[in-house]
Amino acid sequence: METFDAVIIGAGPNALVNAAYLTRAGWSVAVLDRNDRPGGGLRTDELTRPGFVHDTYAGFLVLYALSKACMDLGGDLEARGLKMAKSSTPAGVSLHDGRAAVLTLDMATNMAAIDALHPGDGAAWATMLGGLGQYAPQVFGLLGSDLTSKGSAAIMRELMESPDGGPTSFAKGFLTTAREVLETTFGGEVWRAFMAPWVLHSGHGPEEANSGFWVKVFGMGAQSAGLPVGVGGAEKLASSLAQLIKDKGGTIYPNTTAKKILVEDGKAVGVLTENGDEFRASKAVIATVNPDQLYGKLLEGCDLVPAALKAESGEYRYGHAVMAIHLALSQKPNWHDEKLNDATYTHVTAGLDGVSRNFNEVTRRLLPADPTVGVGTPSNVDPSRAPEGCATMVLQALDTPFRVVADARDEINVGDGTWTEDLKNRYADRVIDLVGQHIPNLKDSILDRYVITPLDLQTSNLNWNYGDPYSGSHAMSQSYTLRPLPGQNGHRTPVPGLFQIGAATHPGLGLAGASGAIVASILLGDESPTS
């Protein structure tokens, strides 16, 4: 039995950011993780062939690049090996009819190119981002702060209430859908198609309330920060955080699974592992777990948990799943439109309606007939990812059912709906065939592939139940002050000394480490909103 100031369950981005802040402040910290090394969704492996380096799960560090953690810890992490690279052409879109567009980091260039697609859309792009930009300090402050704090309440009033007492322009648009935003902002189909797939990265569908806000956030992120990748792999972010924690006196325990949170004398005092070891905490226990695990397993039988809250945790809802196909390529991809060749990440899509159909089919647990696919080529900006002249690529089927009831094309026999080897490979073939229509040299250049199904995601991470890599539905009914649960609208649990972080808590998904930073601020006595 060892005693620390804080014991943290899990070693994903939020846990590592939390531990980094605490150890820098002089706290003794133990981080317990069931995996063989820290990182959670930040994991880099040679999945296909030697010399081909793939980001197994998460791979693009745009939200980290915009985060408080990057601002506060970036220098320390760079000193410990983190280096990011990005293209001047971070993103693109390729439609089935041959039309294509790219986003650069230069606003004037983008405005001219978007205007060429449809007159007026270039100015509309600048106006849309500017409209969000005028509220950026408050928006990012709210996304980086404890929503139960007085400071957050003040920010919310600024965002929602104008000086004359009426709603602000932000308030008027906060609950709008992505479809409403895109159809009223852009007259042309191509830029709507460029923007629409990003809503899937927020855990929403284009007709869901609040999805319009998130499509703007992702647009602003791509325009301002690009889509940086970690040189050598996204896991470099995790390993540099881990090294910072160790350098500041913290300890990380891999292959260590929490069994129970110890509660004595009315407060959390430590963690019992499945191996029977006890890690004691004198100040705080921080759990990077979803509510169903926290209250249904780790705090099972704890009389400090209200019955109503435990019931709510059993009703915690998960969103759609994702499928990833990692490819080792013998040559760099040559898109049908050469301006896409330098893009780091391109969506292949049938446009806004195609994204909508994809989301609707997955909601009905169908294999999408025409999936929206994110095509990432990190070797474009990080040559260390592949042997010379070759490339690594990931095809992300951004919306995929966890259990399949039928194929929307009625071509694939889905069996009992479980992701068998046959179902996995037949659907992967569909995705590759689709993308191959946009990249003529793709299929002939594939040396090897490695497919990760929704079932694989569930197996790899306890927080990714039902293959949901965002740790729970981000619908409005489970977001903001309703996250993680209506009865717990913040990171403090009903057990004194126990805090909850991770994507299941506000502000949700992403690699920004925001909830870890929020709880570190609470514990270190600085609950002012962050930006």
What is residue 255's predicted lDDT score, i.e. its pLDDT?
97
Instruction: Look at residue 310 and give its three-state secondary structure.
Output: helix
Over 60: is that where the pLDDT of 522 sits? Answer: yes
Over 50: is that where the pLDDT of 60 sits? Answer: yes
**203 to each of 197, 198, 398, how far by Cα in Å?**
11, 9, 9
Measured in residues, the chain has a length of: 531
Residues 32/35/39/40 CA torsion (nearest 10 deg)? -100
- For residue 453, give both structure tokens: 């199904």
What is residue 530's predicted lDDT score, i.e. its pLDDT?
37
**Residues 6 or more apart whose Cβ sits within 8 Å of residue 303:** none
Angle between the N-to-C axes of helices 121-133 and 136-143, in degrees from 0 to 180, rounded to the nearest 10: 60
- For residue 466, give both structure tokens: 């039902």
Closest Cα to residue 178, out of 140, 221, 143, 217?
217
The 10s digit of each residue's pLDDT in 158-177 is 889 988 888 998 998 999 99
Strands of 88-213 (E only): list them: 91-95, 100-103
The domain locations on the chain are: 2-41+65-80+233-317+465-523, 122-225
- For residue 500, give both structure tokens: 């909850």
- For residue 501, give both structure tokens: 């972080």
Q: Which residues pair with 400 in a beta bridge?
A: 321
Look up residue 395 and give its amino acid: L
Give me the mean pLDDT over the 304-310 stretch: 97
- The phi, psi pair for 142, rounded to 5°, reads -70, -40
What is the pairing mode between strands 406-407 and 366-367?
A: parallel
What is the pairing mode between strands 100-103 and 258-264?
A: unpaired
- Burial classification of residue 164, based on how many CB atoms lie within 10 Å of its CB (0-12 exposed, 13-18 middle, 19 or more buried): exposed
* pLDDT classification of 259: cutoffs 50, 70, 90: very high
**Residues 6 or more apart whose Cβ sits within 8 Å of residue 342:** 87, 88, 89, 380
**439 to each of 142, 215, 224, 301, how far by Cα in Å?**
41, 26, 28, 56
Residues 68/254/509/198 CA torsion (nearest 10 deg)? 100
Q: What is the DSSP string of 63-116?
A: HHHTSHHHHHHHHHHHTTT--EE--SS-EEEEETTS-EEEE-S-HHHHHHHHHH
Look up residue 85 and give its amino acid: A
The CA distance from 527 to 521, in Å, is 5
The 10s digit of each residue's pLDDT in 503-516 is 999 999 999 999 99
Most confident of 62-66, 76-80, 526-530: 76-80
* pLDDT classification of 150: cutoffs 50, 70, 90: confident
The 10s digit of each residue's pLDDT in 310-348 is 999 999 999 999 999 999 999 999 999 999 999 999 999
Are 13 and 513 a contacting pair, CB within 8 Å?
A: yes
The CA distance from 33 to 10, in Å, is 5
Are 524 and 22 a contacting pair, CB within 8 Å?
A: yes
Closest Cα to residue 4, out of 251, 190, 178, 215?
251
What is residue 163's predicted lDDT score, i.e. its pLDDT?
87
What is residue 531's predicted lDDT score, i.e. its pLDDT?
29
Give me the mean pLDDT over the 364-380 stretch: 98
Are 268 and 280 a contacting pair, CB within 8 Å?
A: no
- For residue 396, give both structure tokens: 């992300």
The 10s digit of each residue's pLDDT in 405-451 is 999 999 999 999 999 999 999 999 999 999 999 999 999 999 999 99
Angle between the N-to-C axes of helices 13-24 and 235-247, in degrees from 0 to 180, rounded to the nearest 10: 30
What is residue 153's predicted lDDT score, i.e. its pLDDT?
86
Over 70: is that where the pLDDT of 114 sits? Answer: yes
Largest CA distance in the chain: 68
**Residues 6 or more apart whose Cβ sits within 8 Å of residue 50:** none
Instruction: Look at residue 8 and give its three-state secondary structure.
Output: strand
Residue with tokens 């905490």: 281
Over 90: is that where the pLDDT of 359 sits? Answer: yes
- For residue 398, give both structure tokens: 């951004």
Give me the mean pLDDT over the 275-295 stretch: 98
CATH code that applies to domain 2-41+65-80+233-317+465-523:
3.50.50.60
Residues 382/384/386/392 CA torsion (nearest 10 deg)? -30
The 10s digit of each residue's pLDDT in 95-107 is 999 999 999 999 9
* pLDDT classification of 529: cutoffs 50, 70, 90: very low
The CA distance from 150 to 166, in Å, is 21
The 10s digit of each residue's pLDDT in 183-207 is 999 999 999 999 999 999 999 999 9
